[in-house]
């Protein structure tokens, strides 16, 4: 019954969520000269920097020129995933005007930021594929699975964001903790650096760190046209269900307290 409620709420406010997410994406850089293009320029610069550092200076990236593509395939989903989490954890505080006055289910606001970054990831993926072709990768039909993986990844982000949004409202310190936790998180799984630097024995353990399975799958699809195996699917769906369930349970339990505090 309670799990069903979140679906019902999100469905009821679907137009609001959709419209707002799109709006947020378009106007995030409102007032700047190139506006919406910053969404693309920002990660592009980041990719250039890392490519420079890893493939030219450190030269441990065995893949050479295709390091750029390797990086893109990992960094872009990671970026939007992190965005879902950080923006999601801020969602209640930022929308306190609405939460204080309207009887609107609070998960709607987390869903809104999740959808914004999902849109962004779609755009990124649509841009990465032509780049891949240019760099000489052979793309197969596997890429049709990319949107599915993107949705699953952001579903996970939604669950985590919902948990963090509740926690951050009650404990403002969470925001500060996240600020150092996220960089740490991004370096314990191979996103920036080539996975060849990691000892083979550690690989299976990486699946215990949530978004690794997702990012690994996206990467495999783009770079090697390799579908995720059954176990990887199970791991991904397992993580997704766990966090969405946890987030929903927490949101239900704390909702009244959140409204008192906010």
Partner 1 sequence: MSDDIILQVNNLSKCFKIYANPWHRAREWLNLGNSTHHQQFWSLKDVSFTVKKGQFFAIIGQNGAGKSTLLKIITGVLKPTTGSYKLNGKVLSLLELGTDFNQQLTGRANAIYSAELLGFPQGYMQERIKEIEEFSELGEFFDRPMKLYSSGMKSRFAFSLFAFLECDVLILDEVLAVGDIFFQQKCYARLEELIAKKITIILVTHQLATVKQYCDEVILLHHGEKIFQGEPKKGILKYHQLRRGLGNKFFSEILSEKPESSTTIQASDNFFWPDEDVFIPVSFPEANYAQLIRYAICNAKGEGCVNFVQGEQAYLCCEFQLKETIGVPIAAITITNRFNVLVHSKSSCLQKIGVPNQVNQGNYLRFCRHITFSIAPGEYVLGFSLVTMNPDDYACIDELPRAEFNNHIQICDVYEKVGAFYVLPHHTLNNQSHFGLCNLPGDSQIQILKSS
Applying CB under 8 A, the residues found at the interface with partner 1 are 12-13, 15-16, 19, 23, 27, 30, 97-104, 170-173, 256-257, 259-260
Q: Of the two residues 98 and 185, which places its CB atom closer to partner 1 in the complex? A: 98
Q: Name, in order, each residue with C-beta under 8 angstroms of 208's C-beta and a sequence gap of 6 or more.
A: none
Minimal distance, residue 222 CB to partner 1, in Å: 36
Q: Of the two residues 100 and 200, which places its CB atom closer to partner 1 in the complex? A: 100
Work out the end-to-end distance of the chain between its first and last CA atoms, rounded to an integer number of angstroms: 27
Q: How far, in Å, CA of 220 to CA of 32, rounded?
A: 36
Q: Of the two residues 96 and 220, which places its CB atom closer to partner 1 in the complex? A: 96
Q: Of the two residues 104 and 246, which places its CB atom closer to partner 1 in the complex? A: 104
Q: How far, in Å, CA of 76 to CA of 128, rounded?
A: 9
Q: Of the two residues 171 and 231, which places its CB atom closer to partner 1 in the complex? A: 171
Minimal distance, residue 26 CB to partner 1, in Å: 10
Q: What angle do CA 190, 224, 192 make, to 5 degrees?
A: 20
Minimal distance, residue 112 CB to partner 1, in Å: 12
Q: How far, in Å, CA of 26 to CA of 250, rounded?
A: 31
List Cα–Cα distances, 1 to 76, 140, 257, in angstroms: 36, 42, 21
Please say whether the dihedral angle defined by the alpha carbons of residues 74, 112, 164 and 233, taken in this order, is positive or negative: negative
List Cα–Cα distances, 117 to 56, 77, 81, 124, in angstroms: 31, 9, 7, 10
Minimal distance, residue 60 CB to partner 1, in Å: 43
Minimal distance, residue 167 CB to partner 1, in Å: 10
Q: Which contiguous run of DSSP H or E holds residue 252?
A: helix 230-261
Q: Of the two residues 21 and 125, which places its CB atom closer to partner 1 in the complex? A: 21
In this structure, the number of other CB atoms found within 10 A of the CB of residue 143 comes to 16
Pair of tokens at residue 179: 């600020």
Minimal distance, residue 180 CB to partner 1, in Å: 18
Q: Of the two residues 104 and 139, which places its CB atom closer to partner 1 in the complex? A: 104
DSSP secondary structure code for residue 61 in this structure: -
Minimal distance, residue 10 CB to partner 1, in Å: 14
């Amino acid at each position: 019954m309670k799990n069903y409620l979140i679906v019902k709420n999100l469905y009821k406010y679907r137009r609001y969520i959709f419209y707002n997410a799109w709006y947020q994406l378009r106007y995030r850089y409102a007032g700047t000269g190139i506006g919406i293009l910053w969404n693309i320029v920002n990660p592009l610069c980041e990719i250039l920097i890392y490519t420079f550092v890893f493939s030219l200076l450190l030269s441990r990236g065995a893949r050479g020129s295709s390091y750029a593509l390797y990086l893109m395939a990992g960094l872009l989903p990671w970026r939007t995933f992190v965005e879902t989490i950080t923006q999601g954890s801020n969602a209640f505080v930022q929308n306190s005007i609405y939460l204080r006055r309207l009887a609107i289910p609070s998960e709607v606001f987390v869903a809104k930021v999740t959808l914004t970054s999902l849109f962004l990831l779609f755009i990124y993926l649509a841009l990465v594929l032509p780049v891949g072709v240019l760099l000489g990768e052979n793309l197969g039909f596997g890429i049709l699975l990319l949107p599915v993986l993107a949705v699953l990844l952001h579903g996970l982000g939604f669950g985590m964001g919902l948990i963090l949004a509740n926690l951050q409202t009650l404990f403002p310190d969470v925001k500060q903790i996240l600020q150092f936790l996220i960089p740490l998180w991004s370096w314990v799984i191979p996103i920036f650096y080539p996975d060849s630097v990691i000892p083979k024995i550690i690989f299976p353990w990486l699946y215990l760190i949530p978004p690794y399975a997702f990012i690994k799958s996206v990467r495999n699809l783009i770079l090697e046209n390799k579908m995720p195996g059954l176990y990887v699917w199970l791991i991904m769906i397992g993580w997704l269900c766990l966090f969405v369930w946890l987030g929903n349970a927490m949101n239900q339990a704390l909702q009244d307290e959140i409204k008192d505090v906010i």
